[in-house]
């Protein structure tokens, strides 16, 4: 990776990946793009930013070509809960965007990364320690686009030799930019509410376990996979990766170690609860560990410590606490 174009760069992953790659590759070697305009939420605002609708093939191609990029990181997509509200739009955006991005990667011979998700699995998959290669059968539109996307990325690799690589991300937890429209978002909201109000109303039910990861580990994973020796990769699209698996009561207990008066009650949202129940409790990421040395650093308690410290600083700077 020498010069990278990132779509969805104002999102939760994008904003942190842009900062990291600008540090690694130089400020002018990361072209950040998003359908939204640049605003105060965009942390790394010094380098190149272009407005881009990923369903507009010609504009997408022109941007990649004019900037002579050698890597495309395609992050623009709707997440699970939003996709369930508008499945047709989710299919159109997630699949047309991905197909355009892959066509451009083929045309310009670039490397390629687009994330998949634990949402690629459905209720037929073994729920605990879910294997890398097994029955998927997702029951959400988001999951359907993720499985289709994985197959498409493998297809472009086999047929056109596109160097496509991907991971199945679990819920990602970070303090810089909030996620939007996901089922795992509660695990970010809970830290905000712990600091802002001291109480949290959880829309996911007690006992519902899902895989999660701190954003630093997620960004490291993208960089590590993209730099991995191709000869070691048995899999490509997509590797299971996880750092921890917990239910709401476990993250609540972890926060209580630092904020003893923190309170939580449950007000379950049936739509997001159903999505969460259709996903694994915990996935097996041994292939990623073996094939490209994936090795996350944060567990639940070390993440909670860091989240509360960093988020408190941020909320203070914004005058919110
Ligand atoms: C979501 O909840 O939709 C995402 C995901 C697990 O892909 N965070």
Query: What value does the mean pLDDT take over residues 278-294?
Result: 98
pLDDT digits (tens, 9 = 90+) for 137-194: 999 999 999 999 999 999 999 999 999 999 999 999 999 999 989 999 999 999 999 9
Q: Which residues line ligand 1 (CB under 6 A)?
A: 79-80, 117-119, 142, 169, 171, 182-184
Closest residue by CA, ligand 1 atom 7: 117
pLDDT digits (tens, 9 = 90+) for 216-275: 999 999 999 999 999 999 999 999 999 999 999 999 999 999 999 999 999 999 999 999
What pLDDT is stored for residue 46 in this prediction? 78
The lowest-confidence range among 22-26, 35-39, 153-157 is: 35-39
How many residues can be counted in the chain?
Answer: 321
Listed in sequence order, the residues at least 6 apart from 138 whose beta carbon sits closer than 8 Å to its beta carbon are: 119, 120, 121, 122, 144, 146, 147, 278
Looking at residue 170, the DSSP 8-state letter turns out to be -
Alpha-carbon distance of 166 to 146, in angstroms, equals 11
Looking at residue 203, the DSSP 8-state letter turns out to be S
CATH topology of domain 171-212+244-282+298-317: UDP-galactose 4-epimerase; domain 1 (3.90.25)
Q: Residue 130 in 3-state DSSP?
A: strand
Closest residue by CA, ligand 1 atom 1: 182
pLDDT of 45 > 70? The answer is no
pLDDT of 43 > 60? The answer is no
In the CATH scheme, what architecture does the domain 4-169+214-240 have? 3-Layer(aba) Sandwich (3.40)
Confidence at 110, pLDDT banded by 50, 70, 90: very high
Q: Say yes or no: do domains 4-169+214-240 and 171-212+244-282+298-317 share a fold.
A: no
pLDDT digits (tens, 9 = 90+) for 89-106: 999 999 999 999 999 999
Residue with tokens 């996901």: 182
Quote the mean pLDDT of the chain.
96
Which residue among 121, 142, 156, 203 is the active-site one? 142
What pLDDT is stored for residue 38 in this prediction? 76
- Ligand 1 center–CA 116 separation, angstroms: 9
pLDDT digits (tens, 9 = 90+) for 255-267: 999 999 999 999 9
What pLDDT is stored for residue 37 in this prediction? 81
Establish whether 155 is a catalytic residue.
Answer: no
Beta 167-169 vs 239-240: how paired, if at all?
A: parallel
- Positive or negative, the CA dihedral 275, 300, 150, 24 is positive
Looking at residue 109, the DSSP 8-state letter turns out to be T
What pLDDT is stored for residue 40 in this prediction? 63
81 CB-side CA count, 13 A:
18
Query: What value does the mean pLDDT take over residues 300-316?
Result: 98
Q: Tell me the pTM.
A: 0.97
pLDDT of 122 > 60? The answer is yes
Query: Could you tell me the residue ranges of all domains in the chain?
Result: 4-169+214-240, 171-212+244-282+298-317
299: left (phi over 0), alpha (psi -120 to 50) or beta: beta
Q: Residue 15 in 3-state DSSP?
A: helix
Confidence at 41, pLDDT banded by 50, 70, 90: low
Beta 116-117 vs 167-169: how paired, if at all?
A: parallel
What pLDDT is stored for residue 52 in this prediction? 97
Distances (CA, A) of 222 to 23, 115, 156, 305: 15, 9, 19, 24
Helices and strands: H and E segment counts in the chain: 12, 14
């Amino acid at each position: 990776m020498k010069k990278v174009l990132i779509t969805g760069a104002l999102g939760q992953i994008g904003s942190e990946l842009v900062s990291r790659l600008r540090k690694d590759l130089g400020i002018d070697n990361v072209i950040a793009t998003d359908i939204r305009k640049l605003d105060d939420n965009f942390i790394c605002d010094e380098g190149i930013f272009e407005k881009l609708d990923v369903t507009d093939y010609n504009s997408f191609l022109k941007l990649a070509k004019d900037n002579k990029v050698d890597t495309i990181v395609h992050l623009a997509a709707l997440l699970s809960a939003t996709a369930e509200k508008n499945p047709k739009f989710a299919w159109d955006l997630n699949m047309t965007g991905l197909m355009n991005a892959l066509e451009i990667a083929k045309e310009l011979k670039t490397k390629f990364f687009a994330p998949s998700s634990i949402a690629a699995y459905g209720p037929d998959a073994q729920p605990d320690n879910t294997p890398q290669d097994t029955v998927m059968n997702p029951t959400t539109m988001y999951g359907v686009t993720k499985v289709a996307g994985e197959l498409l990325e493998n297809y472009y690799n086999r047929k056109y030799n596109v160097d496509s690589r991907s991971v199945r991300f679990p819920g990602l937890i970070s303090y810089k930019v909030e996620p939007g429209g996901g089922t795992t978002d509660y695990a970010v909201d809970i830290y905000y509410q712990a600091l802002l109000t001291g109480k949290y109303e959880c829309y996911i039910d007690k006992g519902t376990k899902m895989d999660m990861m701190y954003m630093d580990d997620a960004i490291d994973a993208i960089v590590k996979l993209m730099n991995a020796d191709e000869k070691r990769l048995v899999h490509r699209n997509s590797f299971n990766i996880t750092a921890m698996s917990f239910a709401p009561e476990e993250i609540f207990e972890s926060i209580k170690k630092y904020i003893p008066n923190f309170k939580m009650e449950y007000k379950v949202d049936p739509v997001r609860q159903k999505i969460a129940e259709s996903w694994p409790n915990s996935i097996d990421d041994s292939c990623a560990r073996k094939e490209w040395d994936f090795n996350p650093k944060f567990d639940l308690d070390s993440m909670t410590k860091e989240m509360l410290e960093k988020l408190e600083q941020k909320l203070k700077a914004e005058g919110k606490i």
